[in-house]
A and B are shown apart, each in its own frame.
Chain A
């Protein structure tokens, strides 16, 4: 059980956290035919957009209500209305995902009421879903915004239908999962003859496909009709503790039982997931999955030498933090420093003495005698300053290729993680040995 502490500093130094609205908008990217929009001044969208483009290396559809000083004082309804009408006309989306920022929420605007009025005034919007997630940026972080958006999606769309569809299951995917992770999840679920509705499905929209023409919304991703019939599923699997509230909404409305999987990285964690699929489908575990499990066992045996007692410093959003630290301690490593962005039920479960809600400066201070640093791309300079091997994980990853295709869950993902991180340890160890042999270790530049 980790104790959770909050930084008492007044000045955040080198932020770890990105904003709630950015997380919310990212979740909306996983819907088909969607145009995510921030209800805020235009700069918020510009920053968020740049970050998303750099991470996914994709053109990202993303809009803004372009609030200014005057409209902030008068209230944002007119801008919201104009933005929705403009988007409807220009981009013909199936859904507009609206995330509010602090400017709007601090004034206590009634966006739900505004949307109702806008609908009444404009019957031409009838075919377009308008989903609002409350995501002020002075609270929480990316993960909270993602969770709020998914909760808003199911709350808005899931129909109160109780006719069970025997093979259909709901998969609610947290923001710690990449398109590659979702692909692995889909393949595994389908291997049991189950039909998953994955929400949000960024594997459909942000997997880096080259399409034949240009559309101004997301392409691929969860279909709205599929969300509407989530109430007919036999179960909802919430992947990440952040997804539990959304799962409970479906449960309350349609009586679909919920199973929460706090993590999917590591042998026993994925065993649980596979066992649940076997149980839900009534089928035995396919040979291909058993084979992968056996490969992982071998990788664990081969790799454990390099992980045992290694001291690791890590900064990540709560669910990702839990997944990675769980895996690392499974392999015998020690989590010497853990920093995260926001409060969560996942934090007490993190296998370290303490978890700090803080910034990269906290990480840097705590990491001095560690042997590996794990963080998103902004951690690279810290690793360089401390002369530590560095493993990139989380969002944003802007200084390496393939962020969307990084697989780190399941038997295969865990196996690959062992190799990737193990190799970092091997490289550092051999470097250490040769340094001892006379030559000085290269000093990391500041």
Chain B
């Protein structure tokens, strides 16, 4: 049973989320047990695994299963690529009834062959799903045979949806990277300022709002493993000097094992907001210097931060008066539950509530400390209650993901996408300016007043 198999994954000593749990809860792990039938939301393990790996943009990503898994979900995220587009091609074995009866391994093997001969990718990732797992298709075996036959990495990602939630899939994807990818090739050269990012998906170009900062500091990004990545960069990630985990503990297993195997220290940070961006840059500089980079990196980093902060302040002058004192309901979760708060406080906005779903105890404490008396942390807010809050005008704007967009709009409340379907980069200094400008745009749009005006015959 993979429930058992996955046990040690969640026996993750460095995972803050896990440290918070008592012994019994920890054993139960973050797997599938806690889902309530008839009252559950969120993606499956397969979903989580694909989110992590798909941004390896030059690889082919093949989903072994019936059409539900890939057909209903392909090419739906805004994780951008600066080059190859193959990752956006939806590949699936789309198994039929005969495969269910006789097994789908042969079809899988032939599908891998078709992809390799037509698209010649540097590697193929093969994703297991529920039905094919249940009928016992051995994707590890098929991948191994295919790998040998075609002389190319064919990587099994064994995270079928019914094994658990998204979070589990993220970790399993990390395990696949550690087992089959990272450390399988040596770089031609290294520098004392080589870093990796983990958990930055380059949603709507977030990564590109940060990379120019690295360039100005002479920091070399070996690979952003989970965003705008290339296969042959990820294989060499083990020679970097520092790992930064961006906005998530989901890939802590990768960070920790890279430290264990190759001695790469890691830290967790965020690029949302002026404050968090500064802190992250300082930490990278400090850690690189500790590992042998030139000491002047620290001073140069401070200079860059000062310059950028002044630039942000100037850029925001025209819109700040309209934002000041406006109330925000933040429904994002994870690290964003606090990192976004500081970005909003920067503009003098009041955060009346922040969802701490998928957040660690530390995240929650930080969010609470930041909001103080003004707001509360919310775990899960049922849509009905969310609607009531907004209808009662407890908030002037809600920031959330697409799934709750229409709760806000039906309550005639301004809304801004803060998750993966948005069209703007919100990371780094430029991202902060964009975020606050977008909020300003939403808050000052005249449609809300019109929609709230009753028809003349109803007055």
Q: What residues of chain A have their CB less than 8 Å away from a CB belonging to chain B?
A: 9-15, 17-19, 21-22, 37, 40-51, 53-54, 57-59, 63-70, 72, 79-80, 82-87, 90, 101-103, 106-107, 136-139, 141, 210-211, 213-214, 216, 378, 381, 398, 446
Contacts and interface: CB of A to CB of B under 8 A. Distances in A.
A15 B38 contact: no
A43 B110 CA distance: 27
B423 to A, nearest CB: 11
Given A66-B36, A138-B96, A138-B131, A49 B403 contact: yes
Contacts of A57: 405-406
A15 to B, nearest CB: 4
Contacts of A378: 74-75
Given A68-B162, A103-B131, A138-B100, A85 B38 contact: yes
Nearest to A64: B40
Interface in B24-45: 31-33, 35-45
Contact of B45 (A43, A45, A67, A70): A43
B69 A47 contact: yes
B410 A211 contact: yes
Given A68-B162, A84-B38, A87-B38, A141 B131 contact: no
Contact of A66 (B40, B94, B110): B40
B130 to A, nearest CB: 5
B72 A22 contact: yes
B161 A37 contact: no
B62 A50 contact: no
Interface in B51-102: 62, 66-76, 85, 88-97, 99-100
Given A19-B71, A42-B161, A103 B40 contact: no
A53 B402 contact: yes
Contacts of B130: 40-41, 43, 72, 101-103
A118 to B, nearest CB: 12
Interface stretch (B223-231, B311-319, B383-391, B392-400): B383-391
B406 A53 contact: yes
Interface in B169-218: none
A442 to B, nearest CB: 19
Contacts of B112: 11
Nearest to B108: A10
Interface of B: 1-3, 31-33, 35-47, 62, 66-76, 85, 88-97, 99-100, 107-108, 110-115, 130-131, 134-135, 160-165, 383-384, 387-388, 402-407, 410, 412, 421, 451
A64 B67 contact: no
Given A15-B90, A41-B162, A106-B135, 8 more contacts: A12-B91, A19-B72, A42-B43, A87-B39, A136-B97, A213-B387, A214-B387, A216-B383
Contacts of B114: 9-11
A102 B66 contact: yes
A70 B36 CA distance: 14
A43 B402 CA distance: 16
Contacts of A54: 76, 402, 421
A18 B111 contact: no
B36 A44 contact: no
A138 B95 contact: yes
A210 B172 CA distance: 42
Given A43-B44, A47-B43, A214-B387, A11 B100 contact: no
A66 B90 contact: no
A87 B47 CA distance: 25
B1 A70 contact: yes
A43 B165 CA distance: 8
16 contacts: A13-B90, A18-B67, A44-B68, A45-B41, A49-B41, A50-B73, A53-B406, A64-B38, A66-B35, A69-B160, A84-B38, A86-B39, A90-B38, A101-B68, A136-B97, A141-B67
Given A9-B114, A141-B67, A86 B383 contact: no
B38 A65 contact: yes
A219 to B, nearest CB: 10
Contacts of B115: 11
Nearest to A49: B403
A64 B1 contact: no
A90 to B, nearest CB: 6
Contacts of A64: 37-38, 40
A12 B66 contact: no
B37 A138 contact: no
B97 A139 contact: yes
A91 B325 CA distance: 36
Nearest to A445: B85
Contacts of B384: 214, 216
A87 B62 CA distance: 35
Given A69-B2, A139-B96, A47 B35 contact: no
B406 A68 contact: no
A19 B73 CA distance: 10
Contacts of B135: 106
Contacts of B387: 213-214
Nearest to A70: B3
B96 A21 contact: no
A46 B42 contact: yes
A57 to B, nearest CB: 7
A67 B37 CA distance: 8
Interchain residue pairs A-B with the least CB separation, the first 7: A43-B44, A83-B38, A86-B38, A11-B111, A83-B37, A68-B32, A43-B161
Contacts of A21: 68
A59 to B, nearest CB: 4
B334 to A, nearest CB: 17
A193 B451 CA distance: 35
A368 B40 CA distance: 45
B406 A80 contact: no
A42 B70 contact: no
Contacts of A37: 38
